Amino acid sequence: MEKYSPRERIEMIIAGEKPDRYAASFWRHFFHLENNAKGTAEAMLYFQKEFKWDFMKINPRADFHIEDYGFTHIFSTDEFTKHTKTHFPISTIDDWKKIKEIDIRSKALDEHLQMVSLIRKGSDKELPILMTIFSPVAIAGRMVSDRSIMAEHIHTNPEIVFEAVTHIANTFEKYIIELRNAGADGIFYATTQWATTNLISWEEYQKFGLPFDLRLLEAAGDDALNVFHICSSNNYLTKIMENDFNAQIINWETDDPTNMPLDIGLKTFPNKVILGGVDHNGWLLHSPPDEVGYKIDEIKEKTDSSRFIIGPGCAVEPTVSFENLHAIRKKL
């Protein structure tokens, strides 16, 4: 028996207290089970039962955000193969004018509210569960066949795109409240590829990203457990962190050479809990279990369990072996 429950352990870390052991959480897709609420819930509960992580980051099918806007795909029947995209709502600049607020009980959104409820009912009440929500600009960015199309639309017709992103934000602000009502303890809020220099400038992100980031994290409520995931390479982490946002935990790809490394992040952001440290596309994916265990020992030597949670910089590949994940769990 462990001294503290997962919820107690996470609360201690947020309070800056040293828990009985390091906390950790990992997440991945189960593509063959993601096509309905029951299947996704069962996959998440199965993964949690196998590893007993300290919080559950629900990994829904990524495009559930845009299905109710007219996006279509063919569901995968293979655990390791992504769904096949068949139609995107946006192809021309004028298509953005069709994007309005939608009912939060529309088909795909309602399905995922049901999924959160099933997970809450099927999990220990002492397990914090966080639902993944993409930022409004990231949701909009999935509506085109290539992100560069939207980036160009932002550069050339910013007001048209901004109005569409605002409608998306209005919808998901309400949706986040319903996620809390369904049983989520908070949200795992992801910027995907948009809070980086790769697509838009910082000035553009200050218009299309940051205000909505602050607003949607706030919508989760003062008592929410939120993770702010600043995704991808060349990210705007330092600039984003200059703002006061409603998230106790921050997560980014610390092993990406274009991003701030973990040791610098721990010094730079002393008032936030950092989630990360694991090179999910490197040694976690390719090394044998004994080397993974050695890497976790290295991470523990350089960090403090009172303000750090072991985890990946993004979703781990479904092909990551359970042996490697068990090697991490045993080292906590």
Beta strands in 160-263 (DSSP E): 186-190, 227-230, 249-252
The span from the CA of 247 to the CA of 240, in Å, is 12
pLDDT value of position 1: 80
pLDDT value of position 192: 95
CA geometry: angle at 97 spanning 204 and 195, to 5°?
25
pLDDT value of position 300: 98
In a domain, 188, yes or no: yes
In the block, which residue shows the tokens 């919820």?
7
**The domain that contains 208 carries what CATH number?**
3.20.20.210
pLDDT value of position 110: 98
Do the Cβ atoms of 239 and 202 come closer than 8 Å?
yes
> What's the structural domain count of the chain?
1
3-state secondary structure of 220: coil
pLDDT value of position 318: 98
Residue 312's nearest CA partner among 301, 325, 298 is: 325
In a domain, 88, yes or no: yes
Digits of tens for pLDDT over the chain (332 positions)? Answer: 899 999 999 999 999 999 999 999 999 999 999 999 999 999 999 999 999 999 999 999 999 999 999 999 999 999 999 999 999 999 999 999 999 999 999 999 999 999 999 999 999 999 999 999 999 999 999 999 999 999 999 999 999 999 999 999 999 999 999 999 999 999 999 999 999 999 999 999 999 999 999 999 999 999 999 999 999 999 999 999 999 999 999 999 999 999 999 999 999 999 999 999 999 999 999 999 999 999 999 999 999 999 999 999 999 999 999 999 999 999 99
The span from the CA of 127 to the CA of 176, in Å, is 19
Counted residue by residue, the chain has a size of 332
In a domain, 1, yes or no: no
Predicted TM-score (pTM) of this structure: 0.98
* Domain of residue 134, residue span: 6-331
